[in-house]
Amino acid sequence: MQVEVLNIKGEKTGRNVELPNEFFGIEPNDHLIYLSVKQFLANRRSGTHKVKTRAEVHGASRKLHKQKGTGGARKGNIRNPLYKGGGTIFGPKPHKYDFKLNKQEKNTAFYSALSYKAKTNDIVVIEDIQFDAPSTKQFVGMVNNLQLNNAKVLFLMAEENDNLYLSSRNLPKVKTDIFYNTNTYDVLNASKLLLTENVVKQFSESEMEEVA
């Protein structure tokens, strides 16, 4: 798939890049996408929910009244779950929510998400850029020039760049990351995928390594 390369002014540079079919042109696997997103969200859960049982709440342990002869139900102590302030029956306990997903399944889910973006023409490629210093104003200007100001953008860089990261971190609709650190959830959560020209090159080189 051919995509035009733009500059930070939103103008065509006259160059095109080829998005490798191995990453951007596969038949999407919806079930693996579901599993990958489910795993990502599950791993974010702390799992620290906890309630107190009748053995953990405060209250005297004396029996409230004798077992028989009162005409009422038999009662133990005030920590009985039937009383206000008593323990909780079958309440939540701390546990983990994470589950295993093998590497091939996660990769296929990620490539499926990329392929969906390619099919809907939601991928924008810009030439490699460098900011001399952090500048949110300059980054906002670039986003506006690319007509992405109303979109939720995932901006992927080829390598760490503090100036670009610091320029974009205050923008609520923009997430900046290194391309090999991103995941299926981030790709799907963004309405537009913004790639630098070098990122596409890195994908192509990865393709060559796999074929070799």
- pLDDT greater at residue 205 or residue 14: 14
pLDDT higher for 136 or 1? 136
Write down which residue in 31, 64, 91 finishes a domain: 91
The pLDDT of 159-177, averaged and rounded, is 94
Q: What pLDDT is attached to residue 211?
A: 35
Same domain assignment for residues 80 and 125 = no
**What mean pLDDT do residues 45-57 have?**
94
Given a cut of 80, is residue 38 above it in pLDDT? Answer: yes
Q: What percent of the chain has pLDDT over 90?
A: 81
- How many domains are there within the chain? 2
My answer on whether 142 and 184 are in the same domain is yes
- Check whether 212 has a pLDDT greater than 70: no
85/110 same-domain check: no
Instruction: State whether 29 and 57 are in the same domain.
Output: no
Query: What average pLDDT does the chain have?
Result: 92
Q: Are residues 85 and 107 in the same domain?
A: no
- CA dihedral (174, 176, 180, 185) in degrees, to 10, reads -30
Please check whether residues 124 and 108 belong to one and the same domain: yes
In the structure, what pLDDT confidence band is assigned to residue 208 with cuts at 50, 70 and 90? Answer: very low
Whether residues 14 and 27 share a domain: the answer is yes
Q: Are residues 58 and 158 in the same domain?
A: no
* Pair (107, 83) in one structural domain: no
The predicted-structure confidence for 64-118, as pLDDT tens digits, reads as follows 899 999 998 888 999 999 899 999 999 999 999 999 999 999 999 999 999 999 9
Phi and psi at residue 211, to the nearest 5°: -65, -40
- The answer to whether residues 148 and 200 belong to one domain is yes
pLDDT digits (tens, 9 = 90+) for 173-203: 999 999 989 999 999 999 999 999 999 988 8
pTM above 0.85, yes or no: no
pLDDT of residue 205: 78
Domain that holds residue 160: 2-46+97-211
Note the pLDDT of residue 207.
Answer: 55
- Does residue 138 carry a pLDDT above 70? yes
Are 85 and 168 within one domain?
no
Task: For residues 166 and 76, state if they share a domain.
Answer: no
CATH number, domain of 124, equals 3.40.1370.10
Average pLDDT over residues 122-132: 93
% residues pLDDT > 70 (the chain): 97
Pairing of strands 192-196, 153-157: parallel
What crossing angle do the helices spanning 30-44 and 103-119 adopt, rounded to 10°?
110
- With a cut of 70, say whether residue 209 has pLDDT above it: no
Residue 112 pLDDT: 97
Domain boundary among 31, 65, 91: 91
